[in-house]
Each structure stands twice: as structure tokens, then as C-alpha cells.
Amino acid sequence: MKLYYTPGACSMSPHIVLCESGLPFELVPANLKTHQLADGSDFYAVSPKGYVPLLELDNGERLSEGPAIVQYIADQVPAKQLAPANGTMARYHLQEWLNFTTSELHKGFSVLFNPVMPEEAKALARTRLMLRFTWVNGQLEGKQYLMGDTFSVADAYLFTVGNWAGHVALDITGLPHLAAFMARVAARPAVQSAMKAEGLIK
């Protein structure tokens, strides 16, 4: 498999999940400013949407959108328990978390990463994100991970998005359960491996 990624972007979520899975994969960096790959080829030719992540299977089939990709990876290695079994209520709760992270957190950062967005709009975005992260903090009370004591693909996504806070003047360090979660996930060997491969830590 090949994972098209950009360092530190939302593609870090499936990158972490691939490292957790133990499955063989190749990393292919994609420059989202030039939309070129390292060999100079056009990234749009691979991904018409023009963004990461994109997973290319060994048979050439491609899958986009992070929540779909991480569930696909998890389902290849059920023994790793990265996602509950399909058809169970627990699986729907996992999808609930993936959907929340996509719509309420991930997209909420878009305004903050836009250099031409007025500061007033960014202030509103920070307020909204803090409300959402505060809610997540409450949900993590008494739990190691979002789904309980077992790490899942939803945790990889929340960790990836939560990591952006420090880059956009959003201070979530005062949320104790979330802060403990971030530290716990960061310490996982697979997460360390993914972050090192993306040049985010030494």
C-alpha cells in the first residue's frame, strides 16, 4: 500500500494507524502548495480532490477521506482491535467519533490556517473550537481513550487534530483529561514512529 501524505496534516491519522497495524506500506509525500509529487508529477493525476490523505492499494485501487481510510486499515487487521467489528453498536460509536472529529474539530481549524482570514473570524473559530474541545475533555474523564481502555482509529484522528492547536494560538493545555490523552497517545511507539517519519520530532 501507498499513503500519500503531507507532514503534520490530517494524513498523519492514517499514518499512525498504519504504524499501529503492522501492515507494510510506502509513504509518498505530496506538496499541497505546488500539488506536485517528489518526482515532479501532478498530484491531481493521483488525487483529483487535490488533498491528502490518499491510500493506494496494491491492486491500484484508491481510497480517499481519512475516516474511511482508517476504518479500511483497521478491518485488515481485526486482531489489533483498532476498530470494533462492523455491525456492532461500538462500531457506530467509533464512526460517531470520527464524524465529530471531521466536522466539528478538523474543519473548525480551516479558518485558523487561512492567512487572509480576518482576526475577528479567527477569534470566533477559536471560541467554537474551545467549546468542542472542552466537551471532548469531559468525555475523556475516567477513560484512557475515546472508546474506553482500548486505542482505536478515532484516537489517532483526535490526536492529529489536537496537535494543531499549538500552531494557531489555541490553548487546550488547561483541559486536564484531553492533555493527559494527548500525552498518552504521543508516547505510543507507533505514534512516535509516524511523527519521526514525518519530521515532526527527532
Check residue 39 and give left, alpha or beta (phi > 0: left; psi -120 to 50: alpha).
alpha
Q: Could you report the per-residue pLDDT of 102-112, keeping only the tens digit for each?
A: 999 999 999 99
pLDDT at 202: 87
Q: Are residues 66 and 111 in the same domain?
A: no
Please report which helix (H) or strand (E) contains residue 96, including its range.
Answer: helix 89-100
Mean pLDDT of the chain: 97
pLDDT at 58: 96
Q: Residues 42, 46, 52, 53: is their CA dihedral positive or negative?
A: negative
Instruction: Work out how many domains the chain is built from and give that number.
Output: 2
Please check whether residue 43 lies inside any domain of the structure: yes
pLDDT at 137: 98
Q: Which residue has the cell 500552531?
A: 167
For residue 36, give the 3-state DSSP assignment.
strand
The mean pLDDT of 7-18, rounded to a whole number, is 98
pLDDT at 104: 97
Q: Are residues 113 and 177 in the same domain?
A: yes
Please check whether residue 202 lies inside any domain of the structure: no
Q: Are residues 51 and 114 in the same domain?
A: no
Q: Are residues 182 and 126 in the same domain?
A: yes
Q: Residue 64: which CATH number?
A: 3.40.30.10
CB 38 within 8 A of CB 26: no
Composition of the chain by helix, strand, coil, percent to 5: 50, 10, 40
The DSSP letter of residue 124 is: H
Q: Could you report the per-residue pLDDT of 29-51, keeping only the tens digit for each?
A: 999 999 999 999 999 999 999 99
Domain coverage including residue 150: 89-188
Q: Could you report the per-residue pLDDT of 92-150, keeping only the tens digit for each?
A: 999 999 999 999 999 999 999 999 999 999 999 999 999 999 999 999 999 999 999 99
pLDDT at 145: 98
Please report which helix (H) or strand (E) contains residue 54, including its range.
Answer: strand 54-56
pLDDT(18) > 90:
yes
Three-point CA angle 48, 53, 59, nearest 5°: 75
pLDDT at 186: 98
CB 22 within 8 A of CB 77: yes
Three-point CA angle 10, 156, 197, nearest 5°: 65
Q: Are residues 74 and 103 in the same domain?
A: no
Q: Are residues 8 and 71 in the same domain?
A: yes
CB 11 within 8 A of CB 32: no
Assess whether the previous peptide bond of 53 is cis (omega < 30° from 0).
yes
Q: Are residues 95 and 182 in the same domain?
A: yes
Q: Could you report the per-residue pLDDT of 52-95, keeping only the tens digit for each?
A: 999 999 999 999 999 999 999 999 999 999 999 999 999 999 99
pLDDT at 15: 98
Q: Are residues 124 and 155 in the same domain?
A: yes
